[in-house]
Structure 1
């Protein structure tokens, strides 16, 4: 029996949490969902790392204050160099706390900013995903939905987007994160002969030096404390168990 082509579709997030990469690792084709309105103060322009003293703090990408009225594909960044410098300053406590992979992660951040020359939020976020996947040795070949020129029918509910894109691209299986199950209508997927599946929440704990461990922070936090081989092995183990 031939393997089902599994499709993943997500808005592009900025150095998202480990579960995002779990989804990437389980899919055969990845679509960057960039054709809907940008949501301000979302995971698209910020994520969380450890705070120097207690808890967590945001690292963020400032965007044009009028961007909330535009589509994800069009949102411009404000002064990416200043954002890069600020984030590099925000991670310095990892070095003083003895995070073993501080220099690798710092270089990963710099490489991401260097690769996103367009000045668009979407491209910065995709660059953060690509750089992280390369570091973890995860296959990743993103395609922007806005570049595919798919002829989709009128969309009348949020869950229909994934169904119609999956149908247009000939996917036999669509995989979604565990949240948002309520937006889907399983009977519609059954009618189209496409399997609708969901991942489970990741649970990956690790030592964080003098800091208290906080779950589900940005992948930046995970990579500060763990060798890439351990992270990839964890993701591959989930892929095998929940295939």
Structure 2
């Protein structure tokens, strides 16, 4: 059984969903410290001004402590943030060929009435998975009884969760390869693998392609069939040695 474990991100980029589609179970790792200026409560979409390339869409947070976990954070719902996010897409209404369908998905992702950031992120990931035809079951780590309190370093969180589910293969994005110790996974007969996305250019009706944007941007410009092909084809699986030697 292949397992993937990551923090929940807000409408993440294509590579996140490639990994989700490739594994047999996905653990939303939300009982971990929130980091400012990351991808948990924000992401990037095309900017109307081509010279600026991209702009942020953000879920605003209520007052929080420096070391709060993702699953304890509250959304600042007094702000009209959903309307603001929707408004940032409006420029593309007559330009993006799949604008209407992608906005219907966006509305569904934001439809959950909640103050919990963790619940909104889990809902939006599950909603997008359904739209993309990804059948991988999602598990929210903070709502399960997982033995991860005694880890000695960051790479052991994934190991302990993989052991908990009886997985024989753990796959992580390439960016985190350095935190894992291959020997620890070998000792428990768990293969350690890494997924490297190959983000090929698609038409954004501008001179310069901007890669790595939110999945909503990908869906505005590509048919669902083409995005599903990207999910299954546009990546490669690497060993730790391959990743660290590149």
**TM-score, with length taken from structure 2:** 0.90
Counterpart in 2 of 1:73? 71
Classify 1:68/1:110 alpha carbon distance in 2 versus 1 (closer, same or farther; 3 Å).
farther
- Range moving further from structure 2, 81-90 or 182-191: 81-90
Equivalents in 1 of 2:123, 2:200: separation in Å?
24
- Range moving further from structure 2, 227-236 or 116-125: 116-125
1:67 deviation in Å? 4.8
1:77 deviation in Å? 0.6
Equivalents in 1 of 2:208, 2:127: separation in Å?
27
Counterpart in 2 of 1:57? 55
1:24 aligns with 2:1: no
Counterpart in 2 of 1:106? 103
CA offsets, 1:104-156, max 9 Å, x none? 11111111111x33321112122221222111111132111111112335111
Task: Map residues 221-240 of structure 1 onto 2, 5 A cutoff.
Answer: 221-238=217-234
Give runs of ≥4 in structure 1 deviating > 6 Å. none
Counterpart in 1 of 2:5? 9
Counterpart in 2 of 1:217? 213
CA offsets, 1:81-113, max 9 Å, x none? 7111001100011114x1011111111111111
Counterpart in 2 of 1:94? 92
Residue number among 176, 184, 188 corresponding to 1:188 in the alignment:
184
Residue number among 145, 151, 156 corresponding to 1:155 in the alignment:
151
**TM-score, with length taken from structure 1:** 0.91
For residue 171 of structure 1, give the secondary structure of its aligned residue in structure 2: coil
| Cα root mean square deviation, aligned | 1.8
**8 Å Cα contact 2:122/2:140 also seen in 1:** no
Residue number among 114, 120, 124 corresponding to 1:124 in the alignment:
120
**8 Å Cα contact 2:15/2:197 also seen in 1:** yes
For residue 180 of structure 1, give the secondary structure of its aligned residue in structure 2: helix
Give the paired residue count. 236
**8 Å Cα contact 1:153/1:164 also seen in 2:** no
Instruction: Show structure 2 runs of 5+ residues with no match.
Output: 239-246
**8 Å Cα contact 2:8/2:121 also seen in 1:** yes
1:179 aligns with 2:166: no
